Amino acid sequence: MDEKQEKTTDEGTTEVVDGAKQAQEETIIEPSEEIQQAVDGRVATHLVREYFQEIHGNWMLMFKIQKVERNTDPGVWKINCSFFTSPGQSKPLEYFVKVNVKNGSMVQVEELN
């Protein structure tokens, strides 16, 4: 069903809008302030990459996120990553990192090899 409705904008003009789309947009619930400030997986992996870039600088090559988990350990993201520190290196360095969900701090950094 194609329900079209007229809607008056804040500027006083009238426009035709899709009623179903408008209803869907009005039902979107804004996340709480606590959830908005929590660190998601994308941000956690970005923080891990920045952490290792600070240590190794531009010599960090082929950074790879191998695994990201959240629900196995409450309050932290578990991230496995690997990277090379020089062009001639035959085996990458592998790390296991825990990132605090609430503030993005590194709880644990452990080299695996």
pLDDT for 91-105, tens place per residue? 999 999 999 999 999
From the number of C-beta atoms within 10 Å of its C-beta (0-12, 13-18, 19+), residue 64 rates as exposed
Structural domains in the chain?
4-30 (no CATH), 36-111 (3.10.450)
Over range 10-31, report the average pLDDT.
49
Q: Model confidence at 12, in pLDDT bands (50, 70, 90)?
A: low
Q: Tell me how long the chain is.
A: 113
What is the Cα–Cα distance from 39 to 52, expressed in whole angstroms? Answer: 18
pLDDT, tens only, 51-86: 999 998 878 889 999 999 988 888 999 999 999 998
With a CB cutoff of 8 Å and minimum separation 6, the contacts of 105 are 99
Kindly tell me the sign of the dihedral angle through the C-alpha atoms of 12, 15, 20, 22.
Answer: negative
